[in-house]
Structure 1
Amino acid sequence: MTSANTYPDRSRDRDDLQPEDMLRVIFDYIAKIASERQLDRVLLLMANMGREMIVADRCSVWLVDAVGQTLYTTVAHGVEGIRIPLGAGLVGHSIATGTPIFIDDAYTNEEFKDVLEMGALQTDRQTGYRTKALLVVPFRNNDGEIIGAYQAVNKLTSAATFSDKDLTYLTLAASYAGKSLESVLLHEEIEETQREIIFTMGEIGESRSKETGNHVKRVAEYSYILAIGFGMSKEEAELLRLASPMHDIGKVAISDDVLKKPGKLTEDEFAQMQTHTTIGYQLLKNSKRRLLKTAAIVAHEHHEKWNGKGYPQGLKEEEIHIYGRITAIADVFDALGSERVYKKAWELDRILQLIADERGQHFDPKLVDVFMEQLPRILQVRDQFRDDRLDP
C-alpha cells in the first residue's frame, strides 16, 4: 500500500467549480479520453476528471471482471491498483444494488460499519490517511449493464461532505465513463484476439518444420530486448514482440518434402523455401491493423542482410526496416542454438562468434553491439523458455 504522503497535498477549503469551469473540465477530459486506447490511461483520465468535477481528494474507477467474479482498479489515487471479490466493499454493494452510496463520515457511519472497517478504515490505519466522506456511483454500458463504478473520497470544500449536486456531476461522468470504457474494452479484446491468433499461427508455421512453440516465444522476447536496447519506446518494442512470432508464417505454404528434408536443399528447393517470406507478406500486408502490418514487415524482411545479399528483395543496410533487422538477429541466434531436422544445435560460444563475424555483413552493426550488451538478459530468456532440443 502506498503512503498518502507520497501524493501532493490537496488542501481543504476549496470552492466547488463554477459552471464555466465545470464545462472546461468536461470538454478537456472528453477530448483526451476520446484519443486514448490504452485502458490504464483511460482509467486514470477518468479518475482525474471525476476528482476535479466534484472537488474530491481522491477518485478511482472500478471495473467488473465477470469471468473472474472480481472488481478491480488499475488506477486509484493514493493506493496501488487493487482487485477484490465481486460484491465486496462499498463499490461491490453499489454495483450489486445499482444505487449510489453517500457517506458523510466513515468513522461514524453505522449502515456500512462492517464494510468500512474491513476496507477504508483498515487502509487508513496502514497509510495514515483519514477517510471521511465517500461517494460511490455505478455506471452502465450501452446495453444498460452495470460494468463498474466511480468511488470518490473526501470532499475538499468547507462543507467536507458530498452533495446531491456532486452526485449529479459524478453520475454524468459515470455515464460517459461507461460508454467510453466499453469502446476501449472492446478495442483491447480485439487486440488480444489478434495477439492470440498471431502467436498460434506462428506456432503452426514453426511446428510444420518440427520446431517447438518455444521458438516463437524466444524470438519474440529476444526481439523486445533488442528493440529496447536499440532505443525504441516500450510501446513500439511491445508491438514488435507481438508481431515477431509471425516471421515464418509463410512456411505454411511450403511443401513437407522441402520443409522437413533432413539433408541440404537443392538450388530449386532452396528457392522454394525462400518464398515463405513473400508468402507471409502477401498473407498479412492488406490488414489495416498496425499489429498485422508490423507482422507483414517482419515476415517479408527478416532474411534480408545488411550487406544486401539476403532475400527476397536484396535490401541493404537501413533499406531494411528496423523490425526486419531486429528479428533477423533474434531468429538466427535461436535457430543456431536449436536442433533442427538438418542440423545439430550449436554451442553458445560458436553462435556468438558467428554473430560477431557477421557484424556489418549479415547483421546491423549497431544491433550486434546491442545484442552483446543485452546478452545476459537474452540468455535468461533462453533458459526460461528452454525446450528439449535446446543445447546447453
Structure 2
Amino acid sequence: MINQHTREVNRSKGAANSDILLATIFEYMGKMSLETDIHKMLLLLADLGTKLVQADRCTVWLHNRDRHTVWTVAGHGVERISIPDTSGFVGRSIQTGVTLNIGDAYLDEHFNKTVDLETGYRTRSILCMPISNQEGTIIGAFQAINKIGMPSFTANDEKILTFAATYAGKSLESFLLQDELAETQKEIIETLGELGESRSQETGNHVKRVAEYSYALAKLAGLPEEEAMELRYASPMHDIGKVAIPDAILLKPGKLTDAEYETMKKHAVYGYEIFRKSGRQLLKTAAIIAHQHHERWDGQGYPSGLKEDGIHVYGRITAVADVFDALGSDRVYKKAWPLEKITAYFLEQRDRQFEGRLVDLFLDHLDEFLAIRNKYADRG
C-alpha cells in the first residue's frame, strides 16, 4: 500500500510539474510572438531556459558563421559578449553538435574563467546544447548555469532544454529572416532618401541628420520606442518627391517665381503618391511624412493646409528636424545660418510654423541636437 501511495503521489507531482512547464512555455510563446527586437527576443529565450530547468542563469548565443564568432546580449548578469566560435563550452557544443552536461566547470580544461574573475560569479554546473534551424544547421547555443538546489543538471533537464532549443531554433530562424528583410528595407529607404537629396545637390548626411533629429525629438515628445524608430527609418524619405521636380526649378540659385514655387510644392504630393498604396507600416509612415512635413501649425502650409493636431505628429516632428537642418546647411540658394539666428527663428515661429511644445522640447535639449549635427557633419 505504501509503495502504491508513493507512486500515486509521485505521479501527481509529475503531472503538476508538467502543467507548470506547459504554462511557462505557452506564456513565453505568447510573449515572443509579439517581440520585434532581437535583443529582447534573446532575453525572453534566456528567461524561458532558466525557468524550464531551474537554472540560476541562462544565456542564448548566436553563431556568426562568416566571422567565426558566437555572440550574446542575453546573458543574465553579463553585457554583450563576442567570442571565437571554437572557445569554451559554447564553441565546443556548436562545433561538435553535442550537448554538454558539466558537473563542475572548474574541473574542465575547456572552461574560460575570465568572466567569473571579472564579475566575482562562481560557475559550477553547466548545461550547454546547440540550437539548430529547420535544415539542421547550428545557428547558436543554449547555456544554462548553476542548477538551483542540486549539484548538477539532470537527464530530464537535458530533455526539457532540448525541447526549448528546438523551439528556439524555429523562432530565431524566422525572426532573423524577418529582421534581415526589415534591415534591407530600411537600407533601401535611406538610399532612396539620399537619391532625392542628391538631385537638389544636398548631401546624404542631411537625411541621416533629419532621421536622428526626428528620433530624438520623438522620444522627448513621449512617443513609444517603436514609433520613434519608425519615424527614424521613414523620415529620410521626406523629400523623395523632389525626384519629379525639374532641375531648372530644383537647382535654381535665386528666388523662385510664384509659378516655380507652386511646382516645387508639388514634391510633397509626389512623395505621398509613391508610398500611399503600400501595405507596409514603414512605407505608410514614409507617405505621411512626405505629405505633411511642409504643413504648418497655423494652417498656412502645404499641400493641404492642415493645422494643429490635424497634422500627424510624424509630420510635425519631421518639420522641426528638416527646417533646423536646412537652415544650418549651405544650399544652392543660401548660405548656412548661424545658430543664434536659427534659434531666434524657431522662437518666432513657435505656434505658427511649428507646434510650440515641440519647439520648447527642441530648444531645451539643443545640445543633444547639436551633438547629432556634429556627428553627421558634412565633410568638405
- For Structure 1 versus Structure 2, the TM-score category normalised by the shorter chain is over 0.9
Does the 8 A contact of 1:226 with 1:374 survive in 2?
A: no
- Asked whether the equivalents of residues 225 and 374 of structure 1 are also in contact (C-alpha less than 8 Å), the reply is no
**Deviation at 1:226?**
1.5
**2:359, 2:107 → 1: CA distance?**
65
CA distance in 2, matches of 1:271, 1:80: 54
Give the C-alpha shift of residue 384 in structure 1: 1.8
Please tell me the residue identity of whatever aligns with 1:249. Answer: I
Residues 1:73 and 2:72 aligned together: yes
TM-score by structure 2 length? 0.93
1:283 Cα offset (Å): 0.8
Q: Give the deviation of 1:388 after TM superposition.
A: 5.0
**Contact kept? 1:37, 1:187, Cα under 8 Å:** no
- Structure 1 stretches lacking a partner, 5+ long: 1-14
- Aligned match for 1:197, one of 176, 183, 188: 188
**Percent sequence identity over matched residues?**
53
Amino acid at match of 2:93: S
The aligned counterpart of 1:249 is: 240
Q: Aligned to 2:171, what secondary structure does the other structure show?
A: helix
SS at match of 2:330: coil
- The one-letter code sitting in structure 2 at the alignment partner of 1:125 is L
Residues 1:145 and 2:118 are matched in the alignment: no
**Counterpart residue number, 2:26:** 27
Classify 1:125/1:184 alpha carbon distance in 2 versus 1 (closer, same or farther; 3 Å): same
Partners of 1:352 and 1:36 in 2: how far apart?
Answer: 40
- For 1:67 and 1:198, the matched residues in 2 are separated by 26
Q: Take 1:288 and 1:39, find their aligned partners in 2: how far apart are those partners? A: 23
145-154 or 128-137: which moved more? Answer: 128-137
Question: Is residue 2:286 matched to residue 1:295?
Answer: yes
Quote the offset at 1:108 in angstroms: 2.6
Name the amino acid aligned to 1:49.
Answer: L
Give yes or no for the alignment of 1:157 onto 2:156: no
User: For residues 92 and 266 of structure 2, what CA distance do their matches in structure 1 show?
Assistant: 60
CA distance in 1: counterparts of 2:96 and 2:333, whole angstroms:
65
Q: Which residue in 1 is equivalent to 2:332?
A: 341
| Aligned-partner Cα distance in 2 for 1:70–1:95 | 11
Kindly indicate whether the alpha-carbon contact (under 8 Å) linking 1:132 and 1:153 is maintained by their aligned counterparts in 2: yes
Q: C-alpha separation between the residues in 1 aligned to 2:271 and 2:143?
A: 48
Unaligned runs of 5+ in 2: 1-12
RMSD over aligned Cα atoms: 1.6
Is 2:204 the partner of 1:213?
Answer: yes
Return the offset for 1:189: 0.8
Partner Cα separation in structure 2 for residue 369 and residue 384 of structure 1: 23
Q: Secondary structure at the match of 2:214?
A: helix
Question: 1:188: which partner in 2?
Answer: 179
Equivalent residue letter for 1:192: E
Aligned to 1:99, what secondary structure does the other structure show? coil
Higher RCO (C-alpha under 8 Å, 6+ residues apart): 1
Match of 1:206, SS state, is helix
Aligned twin of 1:124: 116
Q: Which runs of 4+ in 1 moved over 3 A?
A: none
How many angstroms apart in 1 are the aligned matches of 2:216 and 2:28?
A: 35
How far the C-alpha of 1:287 sits from its partner, in A, is 1.9
Aligned length: 367
- Bigger shift: residues 234-243 or 202-211: 234-243
Q: Distance in 2 between matches of 1:175 and 1:247?
A: 43
